[in-house]
Structure 1
């Protein structure tokens, strides 16, 4: 039987009623595999394009990222702190810096903490307190 005549035969909507259950299952599996294959190929092409665009935008890194131990000077808002809590304050500040830099506390050395006068107006401080209290 010629392929062209077979395709013409399947163009008739009444042919579906004459197919056996096995023929219908095979046809539905073929359609499912074809659809999934086309979708997979399209997603692979999109993934490749995204990788290429990312490399074009970000460029290739020329140097490896190095962990450098550098002394960090921290400006802390004016807070009345007792001398007993000085070590705890240094530990908290070191942990906060390590968290913001996404590194270990062993890579950071805090040598000097300078207190800074808080120049924020009263309405600004009140607004921050209200924002924080509204989250609870």
Structure 2
């Protein structure tokens, strides 16, 4: 390493010596970086173990929410865009309106003449975010 301090020594070195010394500097830099990354990996794992137990213990048990009564029938527009607009508008409104719009959307998807009874509405966890599902559907319809 002392060789790289003085520029006159660099001028007297052969090409092989310069390549060898530069390879040593590269390996030293990569080694230090690798060791720091390993240290970070273990420290993050340790922090996760320390804080993971605290968050699970501090979370209170959620009481079950009562199931809402079935909503009355709501007329549904025929077009998909209009249906999405109605659903979006209802999501901004109160809980009863949301249930009514969900019932109307389900009724619009079913065959006419069938009676529906919605017993409960629960949120289902999605494996993909909604934006990823939308992109996937758009890509599949292009083919």
- Per the TM superposition, whether the score is higher than 0.5 is no
Larger Rg belongs to: 1
**Structure ranking higher in strand proportion:** 1
TM-score normalized by the length of structure 1: 0.44
TM-score normalized by the length of structure 2: 0.43
